[in-house]
Amino acid sequence: MGLASTILLIALLAPVLNPYEPYTDRNYAARLQPPSLEHWFGTDGLGRDILDLVWYGLRTSLLISLVAVGLGLMLGVLLGLVAGYFRGWLETPIGWLTDILLAFPTILLAIAIVTVTGPSIPSVMIAVGIVQIPIFIRLTRSMVLSLREQEFVETVRAFGATPGRIIFYHILPASLAPLIVQATLSLGTATLEAAGLGFLGLGAQPPTPELGTMLSDAFKGGYALSSPWTMLFPGLLITLTVLAFNLLGDGLRDALDPREFRI
């Protein structure tokens, strides 16, 4: 929880702590300087301070992850609720959609979507969001199947509650705990997928800083061996971000598990 909160706080406060202008904050005389008291993380091939870049790159990566997971969560939960509650002919096409999406490796599917829509931040949000949809469909459907025959659902159904009211006022609230945990874990995978697309040149376009794009610039510029700090710090921040959300998800799973015994 603490690591995730720190990362989110750094991303939110970046414009306050050190405003950055990508078109003007360059110093070609200070290209590829190693970490020092003046530039804590060193400088890149354009003389930009890498500490500034990773702060703003983190903001971009987190924005992509949050929007993408939000998109996958909303669509996946909606389709999972429909498939799990109504079953029958509505469940079949949703099941086909889930199987088709799961048949492709997530990064390859995301690459295909971004290739069609064009490299940009919104395209990455859509692509990463789409590959998250089947995860939430399956989780929601399994939760609905286990809840739809429970006594509290049968009771409100006997009192004449409509399917919509049963789904959104009774079944969905009872399913929130595992969905919250999965959404938190998905933030880590979404960050990794967004960084992968950025590394391939399919994500944020220059001069917008993004962690995957920073790795790509350093790799393509040939700085990986001669100036390793250009790749070290963006890669380290990606690792810490993924680790933070995984730890947060594990902590929430333990905290929200009703079977957990507490004294």
The predicted-structure confidence for 145-199, as pLDDT tens digits, reads as follows: 888 888 888 888 888 888 888 888 888 988 888 999 999 999 999 999 999 999 9
Res 221 pLDDT > 60: yes
Instruction: Please give the C-alpha separations between residue 198 and each of 84, 95, 184, in angstroms, as whole numbers.
Output: 36, 31, 21
pTM value is 0.89
Of 212, 187, 199, residue with least CA distance to 129? 187
What's the pLDDT score for residue 24? 65
Q: Are 175 and 192 in contact (CB under 8 A)?
A: no
What is the per-residue pLDDT across 222-240, written as a single tens digit (0 to 9) for each?
A: 787 888 888 899 999 999 9
Residue the block writes with tokens 């995730």: 4
| CA atoms of 52 and 59, how far apart (whole Å) | 11
Domains and CATH numbers, the chain: 2-17+51-256 (1.10.3720.10)
- 179: tokens are 């969905």
- pLDDT of the residue at 18: 73
Q: Which two tokens stand for residue 100?
A: 């088709």
Phi, psi of 43 (to 5 degrees): -125, 160
The tokens for 116 are 């069609």
Better pLDDT: 242 or 89: 242
Q: How far is residue 219's CA from residue 196's CA, in Å, rounded to a whole number?
A: 13
Residue 68: predicted pLDDT:
95
pLDDT tens-digit series, residues 75-122: 999 999 999 988 878 888 999 999 998 888 888 999 999 999 888 999
The pLDDT assigned to 86 comes to: 87
If you average pLDDT over each of 145-154, 217-226, 241-250, which comes out highest? 241-250
Residues 21 and 64: their CA atoms lie apart, in Å, by 20
Helix and strand totals (H; E) in the chain: 12, 0
pLDDT at 50: 87
For 24-60, how does the pLDDT look when each residue is reduced to its tens digit (9 = 90+)?
677 777 788 888 888 888 888 888 888 888 888 898 9
The label of the residue with tokens 């799990």 reads 84
